[in-house]
Amino acid sequence: MDIENKKYKTLVLALGGNALLQRNEVLSADNQYKNIAAVAKVVKVLSEDYNVVIVHGNGPQVGLLSLQNLAYEETPAYPLDILVAETQGMLGYMITQSLGQEQGMPPVSSVLTRVLVDTNDAAFQDPTKFIGPVYNEQEAVEMAQRYGWTMKEDGKYIRRVVPSPMPKRILDLDAINALLNMRHVVVCNGGGGVPVVNNGDSGFSGIEAVIDKDFSAALLASELNADCLLVLTDADAVYQDWGTPNQRALRDVTAQELKPFAIADGSMGPKAQAVIGYVEKSGNPAYIGALHDAAQILKGEKGTKIHL
């Protein structure tokens, strides 16, 4: 079948964890399918004008798999890179199933994606990526003692943290491009991608880490020469003076104007850093906003647009 792709722009869609699971919601298959159903309706609308690439987070899911691994003590626990691959398969399947139920949706494919990181990344000495459930202080101390985990505060709770190195290269880019050229919706880079390091002539090997999905989505958008990057999150926009009586949504900002928001702490910091990097590297726009506003965000009616 001859498919005309030239009229379709390419959009990389980074789904925040709330798109798959609400905070403190039970990590059941039913709950995830319920949340993914809302994602499917949004992607259906976007697919009418774009070739859509979906990158999703996996913090709760990879944490659950880790706990399940530890519970069966007769077998050594699997390393994080394999658990990330498992979450890619699990969530890729669930997203593919849900999207496929939307009438008129293009074909949907999920790609197990490896992402190159650097063994010398400082993140391996200072873990910052939250995974798994939340704990109170006593529970956190017990889990740290039992498993040797590093624990840090996440709001009013405490969670496990693991290394989150910066992504350097998408190793399975050719497969993603091939599917886009066939007008598929592509689910890839799940959980930021399976973290691997280069061993020279002996190829690549996995490493214990979980890559930030926003940085990974931004890198993927650059390597695909995507027309835009859309980061969906809890907030409906980036806000000036957030949490004060003077707070206001920023609708249209340059990458330079967004830089004060690109701080290491807080949920918006990594997203701001990721979109700034994409915009400055590609020259194309990026957007930040809420899932249900996705189509309006791309029209400039809601959310925040970031450009040069």
DSSP state of 159: E
Q: Of 129, 191, 193, 289, which is the active-site residue?
A: 129
Rounded to 5°, the CA angle 191-197-201 comes to 140
The answer to whether 129 is a known catalytic residue is: yes
DSSP state of 222: H
Q: Which token pair is 304?
A: 């925040």
Q: Of 18, 69, 177, 198, which is the active-site residue?
A: 18
The answer to whether 300 is a known catalytic residue is: no
98 Cβ contact partners less than 8 Å away, ≥ 6 residues apart: 33, 36, 37, 39, 40
Q: Of 17, 63, 132, 193, which is the active-site residue?
A: 17
**Do 251 and 306 meet the contact criterion of CB atoms below 8 Å apart?**
no
The answer to whether 16 is a known catalytic residue is: no
The alpha helices in the chain, defined as continuous H runs, are 29-46, 59-71, 80-100, 137-147, 173-181, 213-223, 255-258, 268-282, 294-298
CA nearest neighbour of 81 among 205, 175, 174: 205
Query: Facing residues of 132 across strands?
Result: none
**Do 238 and 112 meet the contact criterion of CB atoms below 8 Å apart?**
no
Q: Of 35, 63, 213, 303, which is the active-site residue?
A: 213
**Gap between the Cα atoms of 73 and 88, Å rounded:** 24
The answer to whether 271 is a known catalytic residue is: yes
Query: Facing residues of 10 across strands?
Result: 51
**Gap between the Cα atoms of 14 and 79, Å rounded:** 25
DSSP state of 227: S
Q: Of 35, 132, 189, 271, which is the active-site residue?
A: 271
Q: Which token pair is 28?
A: 């059941």
CA nearest neighbour of 84 among 158, 163, 147: 163
CA nearest neighbour of 106 among 96, 94, 92, 116: 96
Give the residue numbers marked as catalytic.
17-18, 129, 213, 271
